[in-house]
A = this chain, B = another copy of it.
Amino acid sequence: MLLYDSAISGNCYKVRLLFAKLGIAYDRRELSVFDRSDRPEVLGELNPALRVPTLVLDDGRALAESGAILYHFAEGTELVPDDAFERAQVLQWMFFEQYNHEPNIAVLRFWNEAGTVHTDQEVQAKRAGGEAALQAMERHLGDRTFLVGERCTIADLALYAYTHLAPEGGFSLQPYPAITAWLARVADQPGHVAIDD
């Protein structure tokens, strides 16, 4: 399989992390997340959103969206619960990540990396949205080991990616002891790889 990838994208890291854990082999092709001018040409026929990660299977079919890729390859493994309701909770956290977490925390990190200029109001809105997402995680993880069902699932992998990178977006994790302990637990799971491995 061929993964259209970005070394610094947390969304791409989720896929690499899962594939490392499952021992799935694939090739990587790096696309820039700064200069996206080649995206229509490269991804136009593969992914309507023109984003990475985009995965091309050996038979030529393409699959996009980190959440869809994670769910597809992890289904049937111990990283997706057998119980139907717990599977739904896993999806709930993955949709939460893409709607409430990533657009704030990952985007502030990206603005830092890209050096783009934004108004104070824009930055403050992202900052507030990101803190709200972290507070929601902190409350939930306060009396839990992992996000769903007390064991590590793809929900944890999906949320780990940009949460452990949140300091690069200017977020301090100091006020979030439950998150900090959970990040260490996720990183301690078998087959873990770092974003720059």
Q: Is A87 touching B72 in the complex (CB atoms < 8 A)?
A: yes
Query: Which residues from 38 to 97 on chain A have a C-beta closer than 8 Å to any C-beta of chain B?
Result: 48-50, 57, 61, 63-69, 71-72, 75, 84-85, 87-89, 91-92, 94-96
A95 engages B67 (CB within 8 Å): yes
> Which residues does chain B contribute within 8 Å of A175, judged by CB atoms?
none
Classify chain A: how many residues form its interface, as a range. Answer: 35 or more
Known: A84-B72, A85-B72, A99-B103. A63 touches B48 (CB 8 A): no
A140: interface (CB < 8 Å): yes
Where chain A touches its partner, the secondary structure class is helix
Task: Report Cα–Cα, A94/B65, bound state, in Å.
Answer: 9
Q: Are A91 and B71 in contact (CB under 8 A)?
A: yes
Binding site for B on A (CB under 8 A): 48-50, 57, 61, 63-69, 71-72, 75, 84-85, 87-89, 91-92, 94-96, 98-100, 102-103, 119, 136-137, 139-140
